[in-house]
C-alpha cells in the first residue's frame, strides 16, 4: 500500500488525471465504498482531501462509513464523471486512522470553497493498492467507446 504521493511518483499522469476528476467541482467530491459488518458493500458521497503526501477524509464518528473503516479499512474511492464525457477514476486499498494529522487535514479542507467541518470528524488516510483511469472522448464527438484504460497496481 502506498501513500498518494508514492502512487503519483509511480503513475504521475494517472494521479494528475485522478486529482483533476476528484477536484473538478472545486471541493473534493466522489463516492466512497466501504464494507459493512455483514460483508456487503456500502456506498457514500464523500469529500476526499489531498494534504501533504496523502489522500485523506474527515468522517463524522456517527457515520456508518466511519464505523466501516474503523472495523475493516478496505475501501474504494470513485470520482464523479465530468459533464461532457464519461471519464472514470477509482483508487482502492486500505484506510488507516490518521488522528495526529486531523487538525492539519481539516485546515487544508477548509480552504476549499463550500467546505465545512464540525470539528469532531475522525481522520482517515487512504493508502492505495490499485487505481484505474478510463479516458473517454467527449460525448459531442458521438461514439465514445471504447475508452483508453490505464491500470496501476502497487508492486507492479
CB contact burial 5-35 (16+ within 10 A = b; e otherwise):
ebbbebbeebbebbbebbbbeebbbbebbbb
Contact 46, 57 (CB under 8 A): yes
**The predicted structure's pLDDT at residue 110:** 80
Q: Which residue has the cell 474504494?
A: 76
Q: Is 43:32 a contact under the CB 8 Å cutoff?
A: yes
Q: Which residue did the predictor score with more confidence, 26 or 115?
A: 26
pLDDT, mean over the chain: 93
Give residue-wise pLDDT tens across range 20-76: 999 999 888 999 999 999 999 999 999 999 988 999 999 999 999 999 999 999 999
* Model pTM score: 0.92
**Taking the chain, what is the end-to-end CA distance rounded to the nearest angstrom?**
12
Q: Specify the 3-state DSSP secondary structure of 11.
A: coil
Q: Is the pLDDT of residue 99 over 80?
A: no
Confidence band of 118 (pLDDT split at 50, 70, 90): confident
Q: Residue 88 pLDDT more than 80?
A: yes
Which pLDDT score is estimated for 60?
Answer: 93
Binning pLDDT at 50, 70 and 90, where does residue 116 land? confident
Amino acid at each position: 500500500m502506498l501513500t498518494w504521493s508514492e502512487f503519483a511518483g509511480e503513475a504521475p499522469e494517472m494521479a494528475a488525471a485522478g486529482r483533476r476528476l476528484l477536484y473538478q467541482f472545486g471541493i473534493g467530491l466522489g463516492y466512497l465504498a466501504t464494507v459493512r459488518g455483514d460483508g456487503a458493500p456500502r456506498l457514500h458521497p464523500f469529500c476526499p482531501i489531498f494534504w501533504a503526501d496523502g489522500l485523506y477524509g474527515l468522517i463524522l464518528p456517527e457515520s456508518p462509513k466511519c464505523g466501516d473503516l474503523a472495523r475493516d479499512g478496505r475501501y474504494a474511492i470513485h470520482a464523479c464523471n465530468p459533464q461532457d464525457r464519461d471519464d472514470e477514476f477509482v483508487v482502492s486499498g486500505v484506510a488507516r486512522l490518521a488522528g495526529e494529522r486531523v487538525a492539519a487535514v481539516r485546515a487544508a479542507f477548509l480552504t476549499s470553497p463550500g467546505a465545512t467541518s464540525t470539528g469532531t470528524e475522525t481522520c482517515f488516510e487512504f493508502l492505495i493498492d490499485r487505481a484505474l483511469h478510463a479516458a473517454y472522448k467527449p460525448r459531442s464527438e458521438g461514439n465514445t467507446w471504447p475508452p483508453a484504460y490505464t491500470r496501476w497496481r502497487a508492486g507492479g
